Amino acid sequence: MARRHKKELAAGHGEVDLPHALRAKMPGAATSLAWQYLSLASRPCTDPATGRQDLYHLHESAVQWAVHDAGRAAGLTRRATCQPLRRSSATHLLEASTDIQTIQTWLGQKDVRTTVAYTHIVDRGPLGVINPLDR
């Protein structure tokens, strides 16, 4: 990633979009490796605010296709999607005693009732509650 970022900077790219206040507070952050996206898009696009051609984060459809292709390569008979990964992540968070509002925020869901639907997976009963002092 660092090598690619250096190439982008040399070509006049490699700057990420930052909120105006952050750009003013930390002028070098936009080109810093620490602020770059982990999953870069393969093609640059134009930033409407600046008119610059820069690489942005990977589009969600690229991730969806990657999961689909991995499922086919693994020989799955059902179509692989991102939804089971979301459910699995939510389940692990619940098993780790993460509160439902945090999971709701993490999943980007507007209504907590949607998030609560994930909780039917975790059924430990009253004896399944982990005392924080036991960790």
Please report the DSSP string for 25-47 in residue order: H-TTGGG-GGGS-SSB-SS-EE-
Are residues 47 and 67 located together in one domain of the fold?
no
Residue 27's domain comprises 2-54
Are residues 15 and 31 located together in one domain of the fold?
yes
Q: In this model, does residue 122 exceed pLDDT 70?
A: no
Are residues 13 and 29 located together in one domain of the fold?
yes
Are residues 8 and 72 located together in one domain of the fold?
no
pLDDT per residue as tens digits for the range 63-108: 899 999 999 999 999 989 988 888 888 888 888 888 888 989 988 8
- Give the count of domains, the chain: 2
Are residues 20 and 69 located together in one domain of the fold?
no
Q: In this model, does residue 43 exceed pLDDT 90?
A: no
Are residues 97 and 124 located together in one domain of the fold?
yes
Mean pLDDT for 99-122 is: 81
Are residues 104 and 87 located together in one domain of the fold?
yes
pTM: 0.52
